[in-house]
Amino acid sequence: MSMRETNILLTAVGRRAYLVEYFKEALRGTGGKVYAANCVRDTTGLLAADDFEIVPKSADAGYVDRLLELCRRWRISLLFSLHDWDAPVIARSRERFLDAGTVPVMADADVLSACLDKYATAREMKRIGVPVPWTTLSLDEAAEEMNSRGCEMVVKPRWGQGSVGLFKVGSGDELEWAFRLSDSIARRFASACPEIDAGEPQVVVQECVRGVEYGCDVVNDLGGRHRRSFVKRKMGMRAGETDAAESVELPEVEALAAQVGRWSRHLGCMDSDWIVGEDGVPRLIELNPRFGGGYPFTHAAGANIVRACVDWARDVDDGAWCAGFRPGVRAFKEIGIHVC
């Protein structure tokens, strides 16, 4: 695609002001602008943008029409969704956005559904040969597995976010209690999000894998071809999001992440979570099909995925966006991103 003036729209921008700033930097000198949309006015992401609009919630029947109106008005080239339940609504209307001259930088709707459903994620990864923890939707099966193997289990909402309703349990009594509570929390998600089938089991149980946790940004170009994967070791978490991390080179995870990228054929960045167990095997824990909360650590280490997307939209593919990537860069989220 060739776009002389590349304008960006970030939907469900929330607090991701740093992404707005990254895109502004990538567009500097090109004449392009960064626009934002959100259903709540008082957010830092809106304030950082060149211009913004308050839009309905993604579950609203008029949401897509409103976004299309903005895409035409602002001549948007690339649209990035920054919220899990916003993206599928946009993806189902992909052709309408393309007709308006806007490329939704995300996966197809079916892939998004498989990523957001933790049980479907485990099933799909197992099918393509990417290791995952033992996983079930059944409380009885989980209790039997826990008793036979003597292992801890992780109980969480099947379509959850931000570690809300996630419990680590070590006994049958704890397992049953956590399952019931997680189910209650999960059904609140389902009642608020039409994307979730409330008739399906709402809780997923997985073996608790002991090991080192990593995040990995899986990068595909705007044709859906896998280009690179960037791994960081998680050093601290807060509210389900990486709070401190160190960039690393980990070929085993990078190779498996490439398989994920070839399976998903998503556009742009996909956030993924991994645990390398005590047996040395990396296992995929979760997929977040968007720029995740851990992206700033990849950016700080010299892999500018934001710039890559802008370059590719402008038919530039010189590799400069990742040439400066360095392992061993530690960064911390405090006020801004602090690198050492």
- What is the predicted pLDDT for the residue at 334? 63
Identify the bridge partners of residue 205 per DSSP, sorted by sequence position.
136, 155
Q: Is the pLDDT of residue 164 over 80?
A: yes
Which pTM was predicted?
0.93
DSSP-derived secondary structure for 255-313: HHHHHHHHHH--SEEEEEEEEEETTS-EEEEEEE-S--TTHHHHHHTT--HHHHHHHHH
CA proximity to 230, closest of 249, 245, 206: 249
Q: Is the pLDDT of residue 68 over 70?
A: yes
Give the strand order in the sheet containing 203-207: 135-136, 203-207, 153-157, 167-169
Q: Is the pLDDT of residue 242 over 50?
A: yes
- What is the predicted pLDDT for the residue at 16? 93
Q: Give the chain's mean pLDDT.
A: 93
- What is the predicted pLDDT for the residue at 339? 59
User: Quick check: 58 and 83 in contact, CB under 8 A?
Assistant: yes
What is the CB neighbour count within 10 angstroms for residue 164? 15
pLDDT per residue over 111-151, tens digit each? 999 999 999 999 999 999 999 999 999 999 999 999 998 88
pLDDT per residue over 33-63, tens digit each? 999 999 999 999 999 999 999 999 999 999 9
pLDDT per residue over 250-275, tens digit each? 999 999 999 999 999 999 999 999 99
CA proximity to 308, closest of 248, 226, 222, 231: 222
pLDDT band at 17 (very low <50, low <70, confident <90, very high): very high
User: Quick check: 17 and 48 in contact, CB under 8 A?
Assistant: yes
CA proximity to 13, closest of 332, 329, 291: 291
What is the CB neighbour count within 10 angstroms for residue 73? 11
Cα angle 44, 50, 54; round to 5: 60
Q: Which two tokens stand for residue 256?
A: 């498996």
